[in-house]
Chains A and B, each alone.
Chain A
Amino acid sequence: MDRIKLFLENLLDEEIEQLVPLSGGASAEITKIITKNRAEYVLRRSAYLGKSQLAIPKLLESKIQREVLKYGVPVPRIIVDFEEDNEIGEGYIMESIIGETIPRKILRDEKYDSCRGKLLFQIGASLAKIHNTSTKELCNLKKASFHDSLDELYKLYLSFENPQPVFDLTFKYLQKENLIEYEDVLVHGDFRLGNFIISEHGLESIIDWELAHIGNPIEDLAWLCVKSWRFGNTKDRAGGLGSLDSLLEGYQSISNLKIDKTQLDIWQMYGSLKWGIICMVQTFAHLSGEIKSLEKAAIGRRVSETECDLMEMIKNNIF
């Protein structure tokens, strides 16, 4: 930790009082930096263990945050970023935003009662700003159509040699779908509660850009609707916060995009399938011996949650 502290002190030109490890993302080590002057920052750097097969480089994350900020998207400002060829890997330091990210607290704590009603509108409007961001400066981002993403997901699934008939069935269903080709946009890729910083005033910031790519705007809207991201509020389709219409009202206050709800159903099915396969990625990182982890082992048994959701969609058309 001393090595990291020294590196960061040189970078910030400030003395550091404390480094507090925060819970990491799939491919990031996240640390809160508290300086002697009581300033607080957040460090995100590439993880050495359990590196995600899906995540973009950290320098691209910081570039995206700089770009979307220009379009009024609430994101933490980047203070400085640094490349791989130093002793602590690639990463960046951003401002620390005060607020809550834990979904169950946001959905249930009295503290957020007053802002909950307007959250979906703010979230929808912010997503439209993300999708309005020019992608000219983001040419390193991967472009992925629905069928490209589905093919890639299928290859990933097959790589585990662990048959899941519900997933096979869902792949067959989705392979037959015809998607409306909207104009390509910047897609956040993990747009859901957990990646929003919320205060009692509302949405403060959108974080965790590690799955960003260029693609179909419906993907982000539908990902927020995946049942796993409703955190128990299953009747409230949009992130457990409220109705799809409330989300779309916010989105369409900024965007002129005409949204066909049947497209949202298809992308939601894709989203549940994707989350199920991400659970497999996590658990097979443990099972392969790459990283020994209680959490990663346990997540393997969450695959059945996504199977339940997928079968409700396939059999009963319940989304």
Chain B
Amino acid sequence: MNYFDRPTSKELLEVVNFYVNEALKNPKELNAFKIKISLNILNIVRREISLKENINNNFYELGRIITGKKEFSVSDISNLIKNDEVRIDDSRLIDFLYRLSKEKIKVDNPKYQN
């Protein structure tokens, strides 16, 4: 089960790999701003690896209850909403998405305050 957005962690590593290879071909391309972005990307992947299992465990049961499926995906939840098969004020749904958004931001940008 993957709760995170695209680019996936693999796609993120690929783009850093691409950038570093390009920069090595032409060291003038190596600029501080892009290095900072690369580090941010690597930190997202690092946090995702360390928090992923915990997030999966925490949301598995609630996701099963909402979708009624033993194995569910994020797209199942999307489809329930799209097809009006769940009330948009359903407290379990709201709770699930609220808590999940808080967990995702811990991976993608823990400094983000709202």
CB-defined A-B contacts under 8 Å, sample of 9:
A166-B97, A283-B6, A295-B37, A300-B7, A302-B108, A304-B108, A304-B109, A311-B94, A315-B95
**Chain A residues with CB below 8 A from B4, complex form:** 301
**5 closest cross-chain pairs (CB), A and B:** A163-B78, A168-B81, A304-B104, A163-B75, A297-B15
Bound-complex Cα distance A235 to B104 (A): 22
User: With A and B bound together, what is the CA distance between A152 and B87 in angstroms?
Assistant: 24
Assess the A286–B94 pair: CB atoms within 8 A. no
Q: Which of B41, B93, B107, B112 contacts A169 (CB 8 A)?
A: B93
List the B side residues contacting A287 at CB < 8 Å.
6-7, 11
A243 at the interface (CB under 8 A from B): no
Nearest residue in A to B104 (C-beta to C-beta)? Answer: A304
User: With an 8 A cutoff between CB atoms, is B64 at the interface?
Assistant: no
Question: Which residues of the partner chain B approach A286 to less than 8 Å between Cβ atoms?
Answer: 7, 15
* Residues of chain A from 122 to 180 with CB closer than 8 A to chain B in the complex: 162-166, 168-169, 172-173
Given contacts A165-B77, A165-B78, A166-B97, contact A298 B40 (CB under 8 A): yes
Give Cα distance in the complex from A307 to B114, angstroms: 11
User: In the bound complex, do residue A300 and residue B94 qualify as a contact, i.e. CB atoms below 8 Å apart?
Assistant: no
The chain B residue with its CB closest to the CB of A163 is B78
Contact with B along A243-278 (1 / 0, CB 8 A): 000000000000000000000000000000000000
Within 8 A of A (CB), among B88-114: 88, 93-95, 97-98, 101-102, 104-105, 107-109, 112-114
> What residues of chain A have their CB less than 8 Å away from a CB belonging to chain B?
162-166, 168-169, 172-173, 227, 232, 234, 283-284, 286-287, 292-295, 297-298, 300-305, 307-312, 314-315, 318
Q: Which of A172, A227, A294, A295 contacts B88 (CB 8 A)?
A: A172
Residue among B82, B84, B114 making CB contact with A309, cutoff 8 Å:
B114
- B15 contacts A163, CB within 8 Å? no
Q: A165-B74, A287-B6 are in contact. List 16 more A-B contacts (CB 8 A).
A: A163-B74, A165-B77, A169-B88, A169-B97, A234-B114, A292-B15, A301-B109, A302-B109, A303-B5, A305-B109, A305-B112, A307-B97, A308-B112, A308-B114, A314-B98, A315-B95
Residues of A within 8 A of B81 (CB): 165, 168-169, 172
Query: Chain B's interface: helix, strand, loop or mixed, by majority?
Result: helix
B41 lies within 8 A of A297 (CB): yes
Q: How far is the CB of B97 from chain A (nearest CB, A)?
A: 5
Find the B residue at minimum CB distance from A303.
Answer: B5
Asked whether, in the complex, the Cβ of B113 is within 8 Å of the Cβ of A234, the reply is yes
* Given A286-B15, A294-B41, A297-B7: A304 and B101 interface contact (C-beta under 8 Å): yes
Nearest CB to that of A296 among chain B residues?
B15
Are B94 and A314 in contact (CB-based, < 8 A)?
A: yes
**Across the interface, which residues of A come within 8 angstroms of B97, CB to CB?**
165-166, 169, 307, 311
A301 near B114 with CB under 8 A, answer no
| B5 CB to nearest chain A CB (Å) | 5
Q: Is the CB of B37 within 8 A of A173?
A: no
Q: How far is the CB of B11 from chain A (nearest CB, A)?
A: 7
- Smallest distance from the beta carbon of B102 to chain A beta carbons, Å? 7
